[in-house]
Structure 1
Amino acid sequence: MSLQSSQLDSEALAWITLASAQSVSPKLWLKALEQYQLSSVELARNGLSLPDDIKQLTKNISPSLVDAATNWLQASDNRHIVPLSSSYYPELLRQLDSPPLVLFATGDKALFQKQQIAIVGARRASHQGKRIASDIALELSNNGIVVTSGLAMGIDSAAHQGALSGTTGTIAVMGTGPEKVYPAKNSKLYESINNDGGVTVTEFFPGQGPKPWHFPRRNRIIAALSLGTLVVEAKIKSGTLITANLAADMGREVFAVPGNILHAYSEGCHWLIQQGAKLVTNTNDILNEVGVQSAQLGLNVDEQNEKSTANSLATDKLLASVDYDITAIDVIAQRNALSVSQAMASLLEYELRGLVAAVPGGYVKLRGK
C-alpha cells in the first residue's frame, strides 16, 4: 500500500479497492457483503478466512488503480473520493441496482444532496435549442434546482453554462477519469464548473480516457441522480433518448421541449411526448411537476413592468416575421415592407433584448410570439 493510500480512512480505501476490480460489478460486491455479513474493509483485505468465491473476486483488484486514485486525491484539496458509505453519496444514486462503489468528484460535493434536474440533448444542437437549454437551466438554478448534464458539446454545455450563471450550480457527469476532459474543447467549461460553484463527477478511475461503453454508464448516472430529465433536441436514435428511457425505467419524470416537425432534432422530443413525456414550454412546467414553487411569482412591480414591456414588444409585427428557424434578412425586410438596412437596424433592439439572435444566414427568434 502506498503512503498516499494510508492517508485515507480504512473504509474509504476499502471501497476504492473493491471498485478497482473493474471486471466485477458493484452488485456482486454488495451481494457478497450482505450474504457473508462482511464489512467493506473485511471484504477488501483478501484474507485467508474469506469464502473461496469471494477470493476469486478479489483477484480482480488492481493495486495500480488504487494508487492512481489516491495520488489523484492528494494533488488538490478541491478533489474528493465519495464512497458508497459516505453521507455525501447521492441518495437517489443508491437506488440503482448496481450503484458505483466510489465517485471521484472535483468541486462542491455538497451539490449531491440537493434536488437535481437533468438537461440533455443533441451535440450538434441549433442556436435555438442551446438558448432554450441555457435559459431553462438558469431559471432552474435560480429556483434552487441543481442542473445535471454530461459535459458534452451542444445542449449539455449550454445547460451547464446557464446553471453556472444562476445561484445553485451544476453537476457534470463524465464518461472519463476525473482529470480527463472529453471533449477537450470543453476544458474551460470543466474548469469553470470545478472552481465556480459546480462539481464534476465520475465513476471512472483517474487516467481512464473515453471509451464507447463508458457513456451509457455515464447516462445511467445522469438519469439516476435527477428527479427528472429534460430533453432539448434529440434524434430518434441517440444517446439522449437512452438517458430519457433510463429515467423513465427508474420511475423518474421525463420532460421534452417540442420543436419544428420538419427538423430531425425534434423527432426524439416528439416521440417522447407521444410516449407520455411532459411537454415543456417554460420552466414552470418542470417546477410544478417536481413540486417546487417558482421564485418568479415574487417579482416586484418594476420587474413585472419590465416583463410586460418585453412581452408587448414580443407581439409586434417585426418580431412576428422572424421564425424560430433561420430567417433570411431579405425575407424579414420583405414581410415588413422595409429595406434590408432598416430591418437590420430595427432588429438590433430585439437582439439587445434577447428576443432574436443574428446567425449565419439571417436571424432566429429566441422568444416571443
Structure 2
Amino acid sequence: MEQLPFLKPRMAGKRFDEHAIPLEMLRDLAILEEMIVEVAKWHYLNDNPARERSPRGFTKGISVKLTTIGEGSAMPDMSLFIDQRQLVAPANQDYFERARDSIVDAIEAADRKTDIRQHLPESLLSYFDRFGRGLREDEYIDFAPEAVGRSAKLNQTTRRALRLASSQLQELTDEVTLRGVIPEADQAKLSFELETLDGQRVAGPIPMQHLDTIRTAFNGYSDGLRVSIQGVARYNRHGQLKSMEEVEHVTILDECDVGARLDELRLLKPGWFDGNIGKSLDSDRLRWLENQLDAHLNDPLPSPYLYPTAEGGVQLEWSIGEYEITFDIDLARQRGHLHALHMQSEEEIELEPDLSNDEGWEAVASMLVELDGE
C-alpha cells in the first residue's frame, strides 16, 4: 500500500486550539471524502464522454484517510492510500488529485467572489450543504494555508456562497439552537411544534431518546415552560426558517436562562422604554455576549437577571450571599462596569473590565466566585 500526501487544511478557531479537533467535526471530514470521490467520478466522465457512468471498482484500492493532526491550530493531515496490486487504483490517482484541486479552487472562488461554477457543477455544490455545517461563526478551514497568494477559506459566509451558486439547491440546512415553548406534540407521529419567542412555529421530528423531555415541555406549555432545541434546521434560499430536519439535544430551561432572555431582548424595537427612549439591541452583539457569558459566567455561578439599558447595552444583576451586584455592559465598546454592594456593611466594590479579551471576563468571574465564597 503506497501512502501519498494529499490534503492538509488548517482549522482555525478556539475549539481547534491545542491542535485538537472536536469529534463532531469528523462528520465534516467524512463528507469531504464522499465529495472527493464524486468529483473524481465527474472528472472521469468529462474525460470519457462516451461513458454514462464510472467503471466498477473506480474507488477500489484507493482511499483518503486521516493520518495525523498537525501543529498550528488543528491541521488534519490526509493521505491518499493506493493499493498497487489493483490495476485501476493507480490510474485513478490523477482523478482524486484533480477532484481535490477543483474543490479547493471552488472554495477560493467563493472567498474571492469569482465564478464558482467554473470549478464545480451545480449538482456537486450541494455537498457544501452538509460539508462545513459544523463550523461556528468564528471558525474557518483554510484549504491553502501554506500557499502564498491564495485564499481558500471555508467559513459560513463562503459556504453560503457555494450553496447559493447551485440553482438546484432550493433549501439550505444549518446547525441551530432554537428556544421557545412546545404547544403541540404528536406521540403517534413522533412530531412536535416549537413556538419561538417571536411567535413563529417550527415543526420537527421527535427522536425516541428525547420523547420524555418533549412530553414534559408539552405538558408545561400552559405554564410557559421553555426548552432549547439543538439540531439541524431547514431554510429557504432567502434565509426563512422552514422546519427542523434533525433534533440532537432537547433541554428544559430554567426561568433565568440567559439565552432565552437574550432572545427576548432581540425583539425590542426602538423606543421600547416609553415610545421615545430606548435603542434596539444589535443581534450580533447580543450573540457575542451570549458566547462570552456561556464561556465565562456559567455554573456553578448563579444565572443573572438581564435587563436592557436605554443606551443599547445590557445590565446583569445578581443577589449573591450578602451582596447585590450589577454589571453594566457596553456592547459597542465591549467594556463593563461591575458594582457590588454589601447589604449589611454598605461596603462597595467596583471593577471596570475590558471585555474584549478573556482576561477581563476572567477578572469578573473571579470576583463573583470570591463574593459567592464570602
Going by fraction, where is helix more abundant, 1 or 2? 1
Larger radius of gyration: 2
TM-score by length of 2: 0.24
TM-score by length of 1: 0.25
Going by fraction, where is strand more abundant, 1 or 2? 2
